[in-house]
Amino acid sequence: MTDALSYVSDNLTAIRESIAEAADKCGRSTEEIRIMAVTKTVAPEIVNRAVELGVTLLGENRVQEFLSKQDAYDRSAEVHFIGHLQTNKVKYIIEPMSMIQSVDSVKLAAEINRLASAHNKIMDILCEVNIGGEDSKSGIAPDGLAELLEAAASMENLRVRGLMTIPPPASGDIFLGRMEELYHKVKDSYSMDVLSMGMTHDYADAVRHGSTLVRIGTGLFGARDYSKK
Ligand SMILES: *Cc1c(COP(=O)(O)O)cnc(C)c1O
């Protein structure tokens, strides 16, 4: 492939190889690990190249940006919301998204449930955990998780599929390990099957800590150019 977008193909090949290697080291199958392409600031034609190459899942951070790009996306990929979500924006994504990974309050869960019900839909959700306890990050504190899970699981139009986290940068794998523990503590009670953890800088470590879904932006599409967006 000699076209201008061949870097996406090269990057994806390298990511798949690193995942396979990390999985192999801990006796996991690569089939258990899904690759999400995180699309913030990336033009739809570049996102579509990743889809052509076999990426089946896109991750969106910003409602506004998604709305401006969605018509240009290849429809064969599934889309999950992964950014901070205000309750007044849920209405825009309830139909096009198949999962909301960033549920971090009972109030947000209740609003998603209300709108999912109005759309006759069962919405898959992940609860986002602020595993590093950082003030700057969204996500529920680990000690509030039990209450959020219980509340969300009782809502008829939600299906709690698992947990998501963004650990503090440059923290090694301490928080990946804590997340793995936390996931295993609650997984069976809620029949969870998704641990969304790992980004460009730590996805191989995340795989070794049980991640089932890695969210990759810069490692796939290159450095983000915010000036264009
Ligand atoms: C931007 C983003 C990613 C991807 O980050 P990279 O370091 O570019 O791979 C993953 N998850 C979330 C929630 C993000 O906002």
Helix axes 6-25, 44-52, angle to 10 degrees: 50
Domains present along the chain, CATH in parentheses? 2-224 (3.20.20.10)
The mean pLDDT values, 10 residues at a time, for the chain of 229 residues are 79 98 97 97 96 97 97 97 98 98 98 98 98 92 98 98 94 94 98 98 97 98 77
pTM equals 0.96
Strand, helix or coil at 228? helix
For residue 100, the CA-to-ligand 1 centroid distance in Å is 15
Q: Which pLDDT belongs to residue 5?
A: 83
**Residue of 138, 199, 214, 224 best suited for mutating to test ligand 1, as the one with most atoms within 8 Å of CB:** 199
Q: Which pLDDT belongs to residue 137?
A: 87
For residue 221, the CA-to-ligand 1 centroid distance in Å is 11
Residue nearest to atom 11 of ligand 1 (CA): 215
Which of 210, 188, 214 lies closest to 199 in space, CA to CA? 214
Cα–Cα separations (whole angstroms), residue 156 to 29, 118, 187, 213: 33, 12, 19, 25
**Which residues have a Cβ under 8 Å from the Cβ of 188 and sit 6 or more positions away?**
none
Q: How many alpha carbons fall within 13 Å on the CB side of residue 25?
A: 13
Residue nearest to atom 10 of ligand 1 (CA): 215
| DSSP sequence for 10-28 | HHHHHHHHHHHHHHHHTT-
DSSP H or E segment with residue 6? helix 6-25
